[in-house]
Amino acid sequence: VRLPGRLRGFTCDTTGGFGMSSLKEIWNACKRIESIAIRTPIIEDPSGSGLRIKAEHLQRTGSFKVRGAANRVVIAVEQGAKHVITASSGNHGKAVAFIAQRLGIKATIIVPEDARAIKVLGMTSCGATVERCGTTSDARLARALDLSHQLGATFVPPYDDQFVIAGQGTAGLELLEQAPDVEVVYIPVGGGGLLSGMALAIKQTCPWVKVVGVEPELGNDTYLSYQKGEIVAVAGGAPSIADGLRAVQPGSMTFPIMRRHVDEIMLVSEAEIEAATRWMLTTMKQVVEPSGAVSVAAARRAGPARAVALVSGGNLEV
């Protein structure tokens, strides 16, 4: 990542959310994943609204997840891992399966009973073993941890891990470089790995840029936790069409980072998510999944002034 001229040599507070220097971890991640993740483009609304998107739906495996997963799995392999296990509603699992195949190790992915077929196919076509377990993120995380202990495999957390967070943060550095005039960035939030990583990267490099997390009204755990100042779990109720954003609570590692570095969490309705997904198709000519379009829904409601919406995934079931 090459920062634009006015940011070069910018010194900042690097004592962010984890370890000695989270910004340094993100820079290290940029180097570690450069041959695996691609630099996705920024695309401007051709109808002239001024809204720009950071197109992570065009990332390898169809989502940003490959950034954090690659950073974590490359480190695991350097430490001797031969088998990785994870729990995922789809995109993180697909990313782990893809990287494991590239690095020549085994992958086992625990998915929910109702996982989207396109995402399961993405995992099995990379040679991963897929096991279904329950419908909540807590149930599949518990099973993945159990199995890792039983088999002596390495567990790859979907979001609550400093190397996964640092990997997701690489999208933030890239965005600043590609859109140096940006004033506000909208980012989807599930367990919070993407939002916390990008917020760390953005706030420690350009603290004047506003960082907004976006959640579905039907999965408002981060919104409620942010309001209350402590982790709140939500369970039950109708599931959102944004299947990647159904975590029942923010992570214990991601939440303090989000509290410190995120300016606002916005909620969007199911109707707004559907409309944004359709708008991406008809106006932007881009195939995106509902989880990836929540940021677009928020940006369209708020107005486009120097805004970039991070579109996080394109694995749409059609």
Ligand X SMILES: Cc1ncc(COP(=O)(O)O)c(C=O)c1O
What positions carry a catalytic annotation?
65, 89, 215, 219, 221, 312
The answer to whether residues 189 and 220 touch, using CB atoms and an 8 Å cutoff, is no
Q: Considering only residues 16, 167, 172, 193, which one is a binding residue for ligand X as defined by CB under 6 A?
A: 193
The answer to whether residues 183 and 209 touch, using CB atoms and an 8 Å cutoff, is yes
Size of the site for ligand X (CB under 6 A): 22
- Show the site string, 95-134: x = touches ligand X by CB under 6 A, - = not: ----------------------------------------
Q: Considering only residues 157, 172, 219, 292, which one is a binding residue for ligand X as defined by CB under 6 A?
A: 292
Task: Confirm or reject binding of residue 17 to ligand X (CB under 6 A).
Answer: no
> Which positions ≥6 away from 269 have C-beta within 8 Å?
216, 217
User: Which range of residues in 25-33, 192-200, 224-232, 233-241 is near ligand X by CB under 6 A?
Assistant: 192-200
Work out the angle between the directed axes of helices 162-178 and 22-32 (0-180°, nearest 10).
Answer: 80
Nearest to ligand X of 27, 255 (CB atom): 255
Nearest to ligand X of 159, 186 (CB atom): 159
Q: Which amino acid is at 298?
A: A
Q: Considering only residues 22, 59, 91, 225, which one is a binding residue for ligand X as defined by CB under 6 A?
A: 91
Task: Confirm or reject binding of residue 63 to ligand X (CB under 6 A).
Answer: yes
Element (H, E) at 23: helix 22-32
Task: Confirm or reject binding of residue 59 to ligand X (CB under 6 A).
Answer: no
- The 8-class DSSP code of residue 305 comes to T
Tokens at residue 298, please? Answer: 């928020």
Q: Considering only residues 45, 249, 289, 309, which one is a binding residue for ligand X as defined by CB under 6 A?
A: 289
Least distance from ligand X to the Cβ atom of residue 208, Å: 24
- The label of the residue with tokens 């989880």 reads 291
Residue among 24, 310, 66, 61 nearest 189 (CA): 310
Task: Confirm or reject binding of residue 189 to ligand X (CB under 6 A).
Answer: yes
Q: Considering only residues 55, 95, 245, 284, which one is a binding residue for ligand X as defined by CB under 6 A?
A: 245
Q: Considering only residues 40, 61, 89, 204, which one is a binding residue for ligand X as defined by CB under 6 A?
A: 89
Q: Is 274 exposed, middle or buried (0-12, 13-18, 19+ CB in 10 A)?
A: middle
Nearest to ligand X of 149, 290 (CB atom): 290
Nearest to ligand X of 115, 245 (CB atom): 245
The answer to whether residues 18 and 196 touch, using CB atoms and an 8 Å cutoff, is no
The answer to whether residues 298 and 214 touch, using CB atoms and an 8 Å cutoff, is yes
**Which residues, numbered 135-174, are part of the site for ligand X (CB under 6 A)?**
158-159
Tokens at residue 186, please? Answer: 């909208």
Q: Which amino acid is at 309?
A: A
What span, in angstroms and rounded, lies between the C-alpha atoms of 17 and 87?
24
User: Which range of residues in 5-13, 127-135, 187-195, 269-277 is near ligand X by CB under 6 A?
Assistant: 187-195
Q: Considering only residues 112, 190, 216, 219, which one is a binding residue for ligand X as defined by CB under 6 A?
A: 190
Q: Considering only residues 122, 191, 216, 219, which one is a binding residue for ligand X as defined by CB under 6 A?
A: 191
What span, in angstroms and rounded, lies between the C-alpha atoms of 26 and 207?
16
The answer to whether residues 155 and 86 touch, using CB atoms and an 8 Å cutoff, is yes
Secondary structure E strands in the chain: 42-44, 52-55, 83-87, 106-111, 129-132, 154-155, 184-188, 210-216, 264-268, 307-311
Q: Name the site residues for ligand X (rule: CB under 6 A).
A: 63, 89, 91-92, 158-159, 188-195, 244-245, 247, 289, 291-292, 312-313
